[in-house]
Structure formats: structure tokens, C-alpha cells
A and B are shown apart, each in its own frame.
Chain A
């Protein structure tokens, strides 16, 4: 728009809450604005012609024009600052007045100026309101009737009818125009509302996305794990601050670099580099995580492929964790376990051996009291050895280091070994110690015979420990095509029902009294249960107070524990 158009628009537009009112007031302004130059022109012409012979008429026109111009300005101001309806009515009445003086009564009531009254009628429908056309039709009719009567004529009824017809047509067209505009406005309003809603939703989702992106970034920046994201061409596109410390490489040496650049360092061995690349290439194949040496550090690496919403791979994310301390602790723990295993057992074994030699009179006969003392030394040393063994087993199970090593073995040999240890212990308590093998059991089976022996000796020892009279019986049996089992039955005190669920817990004995009476720290059954689970077996116990307990273990037959 040009400056002139803008100026005219500013001059005519009136702000109003009612859009119809605004439109009407604007229409009135346009009319006034159109009229003003005409009146100015009329004044100028009148000023020139006033000096001529017919100056009298020109002076009247001049005065009329000036009054009209002032009226136009006043109406414009009213229209602009106060009321559209009032100014429109004022303008139309002024127009009627001008019309009334514009010609002689004869011409106005039936001659050439008859239809000049149509102008206010049409205008009223446009600038006041559609139905106002009828008011000005009536006013016009009254005026021409008055003129007719003043010159002694009858009112011009066809002209009056004509006015009302014009008013009717104006009313119809203005009304339909206003309705059409109204419809358009409501459509626009709906559209606006829709656009607003959409805009709001879009803004909200954008804001949310920004907040989430910010949050993700904050999380990424604050976690202690080092994170690097690679695109499909193995160029790193994103990294967090933690990775800088972990890899001891400046940020600029990580982001926007290829993985080969990143790993081209003497801090990592060729073997680890190969494994790491293979893992990143196919995460999950090497295992959940992979530990590698990076300079003096031990890093644990996890990787996952990144997919977009359509399911296409867009890259790989690698997470590095500093495992140096844990690795050191693990090494120290293993070293400690191995040290204790050797350093504690060897002297205990020596004490036991010397006591036995005294007892067996290797160094000459000993008297009864000396024999009793050596017995006490042997029992207590054996206790200590068992404790050490149990603690070491427990430590190994906890560290996940206890491995089940299956190999073919003969059930008879297994029982022979158990008898070798248990016969004497049972005999010392005047208990029977018997065993049987189900003929249905294969002659050679697959399993970890060392651990099976440990389980049997543990259960048998326990049974002997808690049995005062009678004995202990071991049975190896075949349950069905896929399972074999071990049962250890005793004629001891039995276990109270409410204690049965707890007897396999670590460091547990039925009560403090039993601990003092029978010794041990309550690891035996817990270790048995853990060994049984490691062999994919199940252990259960049945017991009746006063008549004894039976421990039953079921294993898969030919279980494939490697």
C-alpha cells in the first residue's frame, strides 16, 4: 500500500468492538471524505462567481457550502470519537435538509428532483442500519407530501410507493450483505480459533521438546559414565564431559573424529581394540559389557545401537565406565582368597597331622590323658579347617568364582569317598552309617564328583552331628528318565516346622543353643543349597520332631553342566 492509501485508511477507519458498527462508521467517513473536497470545490467556485452579476445566488451557495463543510467536520468528529449511529442520523438529516433546499417544492414533489430522496434511503441502509431505510423512506414521503400540499397538490402516492420499494430493496440487500459478512466473520473467527489452538499446541510441544532436550543434555553432562555417540559412518557426533577424563583425550579430539582416530592410541592394546570394535559393530554378541585396559585405567564398555522412530539404525552409542577401582578390589579379593586358602589350610593341616601322629603313637606310646588331649586338638583343628573351607567356599560362590566342572564319574566311587570320611566320624558317636545305590542308576554319570562329595559329606556330617541314637542312611536313586537324586536320612532330633524355611539361609542354625552345642557357623547347608543350584538341582527337607529328618536332592540326569 502506498503512503496515501495508508493515510486515507487511517483517516476513515474507526475502531469499534462491533464489526458492523465499525464498517458503518467507516462507510460514513468515506462519504464525508468524498463530500469534503466537493464542498471545498464548491466554495472556491462560489468565491469566483460571487463577483459576477448573479453574485446573490453564489453567496447563498457559498454560505450553504461553508455550513455544510463545518457540518461534515463536526459529524466526522462525532463519528470518530463518539457515536456512529448519532453521527449517521445527523448526516442523513443534514442531507435531507440540503435536499429540501436544493430545488423548488414543485420539482421536489413531482419533478426532476423527486428521486433525489432515494439517496438518503439507500445511504441509511448502509451507514445506519438496514431497517433505517424505511425511516428515511417515510421522512422523504412526509417531505414530498408537505411540498405537494404547500403548492396545493395531492401527495404523490406513486413516488411514495417507489420510496418504500427502494427502501425494501435496500433493506434486503444490506441485510443479506450484513448476514454474509457475519457468516464470513464467524468462519474467520473459527479459523482464527483453530489456528490459535494449533499454534498453542505446537508451541507447547516445542517447549516440551526443548525442556526434554535440555533435561537429556543435563543428564548426559552430569553422569559419571562417559558417553560417545557414533553415526553410521563411525564418526562421533556427540560426547559428554565425563568421556574426556575417562579417555584422557581433549573434547576436540573426540567429537567429529572417526572411531579409528579415537582408538589410534598407545593406551589400548591391539587385542582390546579389536574386541571393542567388534563389540561396537554388533553389540550384545560379546556379552553385556566388555572390560578393557586404557592406559592405567580399566574401563568397562557397553554399547547399543540407536534407531530412529522408523526403526532404521542411525548410529551406535558407547558408554564407558571407570572400572579401575573395582578391578583392583576384585584382584585383591581373589588374591586374598587364594592366599588364605593356602596359608591357613597348610598350618592347620600340619597341626592335624602332628596330633594324629601323637595319637597313632608314631613317636611312642602315650597315656590316656595325653590321648584325650590329642583328640581334643584334632577335633578342634578339624572344626577350624571346616570353617575355613566353608568361608572360602562361600566367598567363592559370592564372587561367582566357584565353577561346576562336570566329568564322568561312578556313583560307587562317590559313596566310597564319603564312607572314607564318614565311617570313622559316625563310629565315634556309635551311630550306623549306611548307603545304597538304586540299580536303576547308570554305572557312570556326568557331574562334578568333587562338589557332589562335598554336598554328601556336608549333609552326612550334619546328620551325624544332630543324631544321638540310631544312624544315617544315604541313598542314590533314579527318580525318572530325566532325574536322579540323593537322599540323606537320619534318626536325629528333627527340625521344627517353622524353622525349615530358614535352614538354608547363610549363617543360620536353629537357635543359639544348637550353635554352642554343635559348633559351626551355619554356612554348611547354605553352601549345599548354593552348590545344588549351581548344578541345576533342587533340595528339599522333610522332618519330624524327635524321629529324624530326610534331605532330598534332585538333579537332572546327565546334566550338561560344563
Chain B
């Protein structure tokens, strides 16, 4: 059984499923209760599950994550909402210094199954600090899982797996895709171990098969890569689109398998390319696919400049044209 849902609603239903399946699951954040979140992702959950389980917190991100860690140590599974990407940094210390390391430093005695949902990325004409893509900063930290869905079905499956997983998960939601629609099928709620090892948290998926070039993307840029593949297809170039789903762990096996077939690779993300997740993909592809590569790996992404004013964001963000241009360049080799 499946139904058509927006991307945002798919997450809502995933959270609802988690709250129904596990009495230890909590949702907490600024405005997530009565208001249902500024993007309405938690709409209706407080009404159905009460103020103790869907918690309007004080306006303090470090406090949200820090108390979530304490709740997790007491046996709860908090799902924190950070209202916008650019507001996560007050919690950066708690996330990287405490949350990421608790399981390790306790030699596995203490689990902290905290999920941190972060609406991220640009393209919605927002003001400063509301359009950023800080995922690589977290993926660089051992102990955290970092994922980003690109379809409503993955959004539903991945939020449920993230909540059920025994590890902390940074869940990056491409806010520009919140209103896109797709079919979502429900399934059984995963166990903790099954969730941690679930494909949706660990394995890339082939979003579109192709033979001439591999486009690697995740979250918001999967749609961009698919559109570029359409354009390229009309020109006679067959592009394969790999949706990473997870940046940590990075599914190097799937990417390498694709690039060995196509011989060419272009990575697309909204974050600045310098030291971004695309740099890691390029390094891994050069290690794994050296004798299959017909051209250097290219990256298409944000520039090494702060996210620009909204009136310029479409020149900053990786566009279909820039992806096609990069593909033309790797094909020219």
C-alpha cells in the first residue's frame, strides 16, 4: 500500500511511525510542538503524542542537543530539530565533542541514539544563514552517521531507520525539496541493529542507470543531476546518477562500481567544493578506479565564498547547465 506524499509529509509520517512504534522516541526542538515546526514537518505530532513526547524547547541549540544526550543516556531516543542549517553551530560542540564520542569512550557501554534533523541547502530565496550545507563538517567526525534523502520514499524510510539506529545520526533534509511529491510505501518498523545496517543508511542507490558518465549526488542535487541526465540524454550522452544517501559512511563500493563501467565521474553538491564531500569521492575514485578513468574527476558545487544573497543564489548553486558543462569537459578527454 502506498500513497502520494510531499517530501516533508513523508518525514512527518516517518516520525509518526517511530513515535507509535517505540514509546522511548521523543521529538524536540524550537517550535516543533504547537506550531508543528517552521516547515510543518512535525505538524500534528504534539496533538497526538502529547507535550512530554513532542517537546517545545527553549531557544538554545546546544541545550537541545546536550539535553538530548542526557535523555538518550536515560534510555530515550530523542529526535532533535535544528530549525535551519545555519543555526546548528551553537550545538556543534555537543555534537562533535560529546555525542559523537560517547559510545567510543565508554567502550560501547553507553549508546546515544540521538537524531538531529537539519533542514539544509538553498534555492528558496532565504536570508543569510538559512541556506547552508554544512554536512561535510559533521561527516569529518568519526562516530556520527550523516545522511540526506532525495525522495519522499527515502525520506520516510531513512528517518525511521535513523531513529531506530543505535548510533547518532545527522539527518540533513533538503528544504528545497520539501514540497516535491512522490509515492511512499509503508513497511515494518526496523529493529535497532537492522536500522544501523539498513541499506538506506549505508548504501548508495542508482537513481538512473547510464553508461557514459557517473553523476554522484545526494539530497537536493539528485534532482539537479537527474535533470542534467535528461539534457545529456537528448544530446546522446548516457549519464548514470548515483544517489549517495549517506555521506558517512560513504558507499565507495557503489560509486567505484559505477565509475569502472563509465570511466568518468562528476560529483555534484551544494556545499563549497573545497574540502567538501566531493573531494573525498574524487580521492576514493582515483584510488579505486585509476585504470578505468578516462578523465579527471570533476566537482560541481558551491564556491569558496559564504552563501550569497538570495538574488544571486541561482548563480552560486550547481545548476543543470554547470553539471552539463562538467560532463562535456570530462567527455572531451
Chains A and B belong together in one complex: no
Q: Report which A residues bind B (CB closer than 8 A).
A: none
Q: Report which B residues bind A (CB closer than 8 A).
A: none
